[in-house]
Amino acid sequence: MQIQVKFINLFLVELLLVGSAMKIVSLSPAITETLVLLGAEDEIVGVTPFCFMWLRDKKEIIGSYLHVRFDRLEKLKPDIVFLQSHVHDKFYEIVKSRGFNAYLTPLPSSLYGILQNVLDVGSLIGRYYEARELVSRIVLEKLSRLRDILSKPLSSRVRVYVEYLWPDWSYSTAGALTFIDDGLWWSGGLNIFYDRPAKFFTPKREEVGLRDPEVVLVNIEPQMEVSMREYLNRRWTGELEAARSDRVFLVRESKNINLAHMGPSFIDTVMWISMLLKRVSKQ
């Protein structure tokens, strides 16, 4: 009888722990968006400045892609710290070595990877059902509308070059092992570097020209002031047929359309690209 009572008490304690609010630090905008969609915004105690567009209320800044404020982590004592692989790899072991429960979120290489991250985050914060419901809704209400495009042959797809333009005018693009490559496929396009088994890299200008993209999508960070004329003059000066045909599009990062964001709303960006490519194909 005493053993049974002890077991019941332990079970009640476990239930209380599961039901209690967590203190979460997210250093990934994609995870921050996911947490909000799962109803856990009030449990977020620390973020990066890039997370603010997904939040109703301000949260304490704990770090960015380049640094982590360990003094603030010590003060907040979070239950879990979400980090983003590819940018936080070197911080992961440091955060763990200081006694924090850390999770290094995989960099998704496909839309399925984005959805898997949603399920993983939901499981880690005790919102498994909410995560399942969110993923099901995305699949049924959004991705299902694109399923007919997936069977388009290579030859009929619009060739797209995606360029990430940084504030210092350096740039990079996406290879085949990225969520943006998969997003272009779902949208009816074809990444001109679909045959490059890489994540993100800096291509040579002449290489882009030789692959002759029909559409150029240029990711611009929110704080950057770049006009189309300035971009074309500094980057291409009439070298690309896409530029001569007015098929270069500057895409400023926002909550609705964002080529750099790997959270659930990237599916909306894919749907926007799909509509853009349909319009371009009819011209």
In the predicted model, is pLDDT for residue 124 greater than 80? Answer: yes
pLDDT per position as a tens digit, 205-259: 999 999 999 999 999 999 999 999 999 999 997 789 999 999 999 999 999 999 9
Stretch 119-146: mean pLDDT: 96
In the predicted model, is pLDDT for residue 15 greater than 80? Answer: no
Domain boundary among 107, 134, 161: 107
CATH code of the domain containing 250? 3.40.50.1980
What is the pLDDT, as a whole number, of residue 281? Answer: 83
Please check whether residues 152 and 81 belong to one and the same domain. Answer: no
Task: Tell me the pTM.
Answer: 0.88
Distances (CA, A) of 145 to 84, 132, 176, 183: 30, 19, 23, 14
For residue 17, what are the domain limits?
2-107
* Confidence class for position 283, pLDDT limits 50, 70, 90: low
Domain boundary among 107, 132, 153: 107
What is the pLDDT, as a whole number, of residue 30? Answer: 97
Q: 212: number of CA atoms within 13 Å, CB side?
A: 2
Please check whether residues 214 and 260 belong to one and the same domain. Answer: yes
200 located within any domain:
yes
